[in-house]
Structure 1
């Protein structure tokens, strides 16, 4: 395993979620910050901004079921609702009753579900109050989301089940890498080492067998769209979107839709060459705009 990945894993621990081991890291002092990672990787996505965050916050960063260093059961119905349950269970396990949230990609959908539960008093593991939410690139509005062809084929057709035995092979890596590269900006493409680490995360604990199943969260976005959007429009929780504009899935077009739908939308556009993973591609800018948001909330 890549040395940086190994250090990340060694610094974490596990808690029992309904009989499954869920990996998480918790570090730092101060107000609690929950980091919700995206698909298809894990909490290591936050490693570039982690040292700065733990100087200001008690930072909690789990790996969702089916991803990273958490359990990856094959006979399992992965869903946004279940990921939200897991995050609520972890917060209760750690005796957290309020926190800030920083979310990305699939984590945006999980954050939307968590926010909706707060607004509608439908929390599964006790009430947690969200002090602020910061969204990074993700499918906040499915009508503006444009997933890559391979993602749609693997998660929305029988091709995922057919290809599952081949996942982790050199062939599947060659198929996957162009899609990952396309999601990054033109000047921030992943190095060979970073791409290798991505593959190790995907393949850890036979994760490639469930990759396409985890990716079926696209259906949840359609089912729950109106409920989530209503909660975002009506909430008093301060929200900010920080967006990498050249992300083909959820870049400038998603930010424009956010501004249309959310009253008094707080949107920060990053440099024109930043794509889908802003916390990896432009960590200093993400940190600056995130802290500015949280500091304004604290000051208010």
Structure 2
């Protein structure tokens, strides 16, 4: 585990559209680039336990998206998933990357789906831009990949309701802790230090007051279902799903739907693990992810396709 202050102290700032974005890099220079995309309502610190395990094999990149963690949290902002994807592509392009791999969780899954949709369009020659970024592989942790199987927690439904702003204002550290305990596995509850860290990052720059704006991603998922589910169905890059099976939000029931809709699904279910596999079972997540990547054999045809 990397303590929060140590995590912050080795981060950097990326200036994007006059906004300050917290970013962090590590791992092996020159190795394949792996981008870690966090979920709602937390931040890139979610990856602190798996970071050392993945840093042995990859060049790691992560950031706090707009509205999260140590990044800016404008009060009057749309917080569209497409805008978060724009941010990530702008940062990765500024880092000189051409090909990257994705490991995403929760809200980050939806951002990954948008990035994948763009990747599909670029490969088909219909992207409409000059971005040269290409995705090599995508691995997804628990998240609302399909609106019809997403079972939001009560706090999420309240934040999305007409009283969302009031609910956000009166959300507290204790409420966060109780909600996390409900969605973690019974034997893998977050520690006091982790809850303190999560809450501190949420509150940074009055972030708790915009949670009702961030939660709009649930509506966006329904509106863009065809595009984002289609991205998973049409992609030619390898996909992997790593799922905490007892997650009440996007657990085993979501896996059933994934197997129905995704051709030749590559799925690993983690028994007893809830909504945050990377926090609850980092060793298992790293082992499964590394095995997924080792099993891929980059043929000449694949390399040629990725270089297009």
What corresponds to 2:24 in structure 1?
25
CA distance, structure 2, for counterparts of residue 117 and residue 25 of structure 1: 24
Structure 2 counterpart SS, 1:25: strand
CA distance, structure 2, for counterparts of residue 207 and residue 125 of structure 1: 34
What residue ranges of structure 2 are gaps of 5+ in the alignment?
300-308
Q: Are residues 125 and 180 of structure 1, via their aligned partners in 2, closer, same or farther at CA, if it must alter by over 3 Å?
A: farther
Q: 2:135–2:237: 8 Å Cα contact kept in structure 1?
A: yes
Q: Are residues 241 and 164 of structure 1, via their aligned partners in 2, closer, same or farther at CA, if it must alter by over 3 Å?
A: closer
Q: Deviations over 1:8-60 (max 9, x none)?
A: 01100011111101111011221100111111111110110111211111100
What corresponds to 2:304 in structure 1?
none
What corresponds to 2:91 in structure 1?
90
Q: Are residues 174 and 27 of structure 1, via their aligned partners in 2, closer, same or farther at CA, if it must alter by over 3 Å?
A: closer
Q: Are residues 241 and 123 of structure 1, via their aligned partners in 2, closer, same or farther at CA, if it must alter by over 3 Å?
A: farther
CA distance, structure 1, for counterparts of residue 175 and residue 278 of structure 2: 25
Q: 1:12–1:23: 8 Å Cα contact kept in structure 2?
A: yes
TM-score (norm 1): 0.94
Structure 2 counterpart SS, 1:294: helix
What residue ranges of structure 1 are gaps of 5+ in the alignment?
none
CA distance, structure 2, for counterparts of residue 57 and residue 165 of structure 1: 40
Q: How does 1:89-238 map onto structure 2 within 5 Å?
A: 89-121=90-122, 122=127, 126-154=131-159, 156-167=160-171, 172-238=172-238
CA distance, structure 1, for counterparts of residue 70 and residue 9 of structure 2: 11
Give yes or no for the alignment of 1:38 onto 2:43. Answer: no
Structure 1 counterpart SS, 2:208: helix
Q: Are residues 98 and 139 of structure 1, via their aligned partners in 2, closer, same or farther at CA, if it must alter by over 3 Å?
A: same
Shift of 1:298: 4.1
CA distance, structure 1, for counterparts of residue 167 and residue 143 of structure 2: 26
Shift of 1:144: 0.6
Shift of 1:294: 1.1
CA distance, structure 1, for counterparts of residue 76 and residue 199 of structure 2: 22
Q: 1:92–1:125: 8 Å Cα contact kept in structure 2?
A: no
- Worse-matched range after superposition: 18-27 or 225-234: 225-234
Q: 1:131–1:238: 8 Å Cα contact kept in structure 2?
A: yes
